[in-house]
């Protein structure tokens, strides 16, 4: 009987050689934890569709930040939940709004936390869309850009280290970049939600952020999940307009887009493991159908293997602990 010269499994039998041969190594420093900050709460409010996640009062949001930083998570993505909303999303650029207040509070108690803010109108408009609407319900793309820029500036002035526009309006990266530069914040980086797909995996987030559209949907500005070439075009537009980091959202269903982005662009690529991806793993684990730890680590390593330098995930704190165990 002839035997093959090459037997890849030789390096799999011993856990020491498995560790030495591991091609993809993910670290806690590459994870970003999303957090929801509420203007009206006085105590944490559990998010039913996302077990273990909460809407946090402004004065208590440092609690999950401190816990995450203790295990090596350096960065946090803040979403604001305002008390009042209107058709223009005017609370979004209020210097005393929910996110600026949260930023100033965190800066006092967790000064070394790296704070990224979501820049989008959906949680601030009474209609729930990411841009202004005309009388017939159509998105007013160009009219929305100055509001997004004012929102970004309010966040940076309050202490944000980075802003992350997620609205998918055309031209918003260039507009925000110029506006920040003109107001003395040329050093502030932008992480663009560049290839943001109109995904079915966003459902639990809409409970968390109170951001569901009151009518219609977001397919007119978020991307068709069937389109890969268009995703590269969107990534290219944001890169050319001055984005420092390009994001693909969601994660696991779009590994091909992440891999293509990593090959095409020199800047960091981020991926967002979104609420639906989180909740599916949680629900299956609660049923005993999968091993939560194994599934979380496999999914995150898959995102990193595909090309994501940074991963936004609700599992960040738990994953940081588990990653140390396999290091």
Phi first, then psi, for residue 310 (nearest 5°) are -120, 145
Phi first, then psi, for residue 38 (nearest 5°) are -110, 140
Other CB atoms closer than 10 Å to residue 162's CB: what's the count?
Answer: 19
What is the Cα–Cα distance from 251 to 202, expressed in whole angstroms? 11
Query: Encoding tokens for residue 172?
Result: 């918003």
Q: Is 282 a catalytic residue?
A: no
Report the pLDDT value the prediction gives residue 56, as an integer from 0 to 100.
97
Secondary structure (3-state) at 161: coil
Q: Residues 29-60: pLDDT tens digits? A: 999 999 999 999 999 999 999 999 999 999 99
Report the pLDDT value the prediction gives residue 258, as an integer from 0 to 100.
98
Q: How many residues does the chain have?
A: 327
pTM of structure: 0.94
Report the pLDDT value the prediction gives residue 136, as an integer from 0 to 100.
86
Catalytic residue among 150, 196, 287, 324: 196
Question: Which residues, including other chains, have CB under 8 Å from residue 182's CB and lie 6 or more apart?
Answer: none
Give domain limits for the chain.
Answer: 24-326
| pLDDT beneath 70, residues of the chain | 1, 209-216, 327
Secondary structure (3-state) at 252: helix
What is the Cα–Cα distance from 193 to 201, expressed in whole angstroms? 16
CATH 3.20.20.70 given to domain 24-326: yes
Contact 251, 273 (CB under 8 A): yes
Q: 222: closest CA among 202, 243, 252?
A: 202
CB-based contacts of 293-296 (< 8 A; 24+ apart in sequence):
293/318, 293/322, 296/322
Which H/E stretch holds residue 174? helix 172-182
Question: Which residues, including other chains, have CB under 8 Å from residue 246's CB and lie 6 or more apart?
Answer: 191, 192, 194, 195, 235, 238, 239, 261, 265, 267, 268, 269, 270
Report the pLDDT value the prediction gives residue 211, as an integer from 0 to 100.
60
pLDDT above 90 as % of the chain:
82
Report the pLDDT value the prediction gives residue 180, as an integer from 0 to 100.
98
Query: Encoding tokens for residue 299?
Result: 């999914």
Query: Encoding tokens for residue 300?
Result: 């995150």
Q: Is 263 a catalytic residue?
A: no
Catalytic residue among 85, 150, 249, 282: 249
Report the pLDDT value the prediction gives residue 192, as an integer from 0 to 100.
97
What is the Cα–Cα distance from 193 to 223, expressed in whole angstroms? 11
What is the Cα–Cα distance from 161 to 75, expressed in whole angstroms? 10
Question: Which residues, including other chains, have CB under 8 Å from residue 236's CB and lie 6 or more apart?
Answer: 264
Residue 154 to residues 45, 47, 55, 74, 200, Cα–Cα distance (Å): 26, 27, 22, 22, 31
Report the pLDDT value the prediction gives residue 178, as an integer from 0 to 100.
98
Helix pair 316-326, 62-70: axis angle to 10 deg = 10
Question: Which residues, including other chains, have CB under 8 Å from residue 138's CB and lie 6 or more apart?
Answer: 220
Q: Residues 301-319: pLDDT tens digits? A: 999 999 999 999 999 999 9
What is the Cα–Cα distance from 9 to 24, expressed in whole angstroms? 18
Tell whether omega for the bond before 192 is within 30 degrees of 0, i.e. cis. Answer: no
What is the Cα–Cα distance from 322 to 31, expressed in whole angstroms? 13
Report the pLDDT value the prediction gives residue 105, as an integer from 0 to 100.
98
Cα three-residue angle 181-187-190, rounded to 5 degrees: 80
């Amino acid at each position: 009987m002839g035997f093959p010269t090459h037997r890849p499994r030789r390096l799999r039998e011993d856990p020491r050689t498995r560790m030495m041969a591991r091609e993809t190594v993910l670290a806690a420093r590459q994870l970003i934890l999303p957090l929801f900050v509420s203007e009206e709460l006085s105590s944490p409010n559990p998010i039913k569709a996302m077990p273990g996640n909460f809407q946090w009062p402004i004065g208590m949001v440092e609690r999950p930040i401190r816990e995450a930083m203790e295990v090596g998570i350096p960065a946090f993505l803040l979403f604001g939940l305002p008390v009042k909303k209107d058709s223009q999303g005017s609370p979004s650029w209020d210097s005393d709004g929910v996110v600026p207040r949260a930023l100033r509070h965190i800066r006092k108690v967790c000064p070394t936390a790296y704070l990224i803010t979501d820049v989008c109108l959906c949680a601030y408009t009474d209609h729930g869309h990411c841009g202004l609407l005309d009388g017939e319900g159509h998105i007013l793309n160009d009219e929305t850009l100055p509001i997004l820029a004012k929102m970004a500036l309010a966040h940076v002035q309050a202490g944000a280290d980075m802003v992350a526009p997620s609205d998918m309006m055309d031209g918003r990266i260039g507009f925000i970049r110029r506006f920040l530069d003109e107001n003395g914040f040329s050093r502030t980086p932008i992480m663009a939600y560049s290839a943001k797909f109109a995904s079915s995996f966003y459902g639990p987030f809409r409970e968390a952020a109170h951001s569901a559209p009151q009518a219609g949907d977001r397919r007119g500005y978020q991307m068709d999940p069937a389109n890969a070439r268009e995703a590269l075009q969107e990534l290219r537009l944001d890169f050319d307009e001055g984005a420092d980091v390009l994001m693909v959202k969601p994660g696991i269903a779009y590994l091909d887009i992440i891999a293509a982005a990593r090959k095409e662009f020199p800047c960091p690529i981020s991926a967002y493991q979104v609420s639906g991806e989180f909740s599916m793993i949680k629900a299956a684990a609660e049923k005993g159908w999968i091993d939560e730890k194994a599934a979380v680590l496999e999914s995150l390593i898959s995102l990193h293997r595909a090309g994501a330098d940074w991963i936004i995930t609700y599992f960040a704190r738990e994953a940081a602990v588990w990653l140390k165990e396999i290091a």
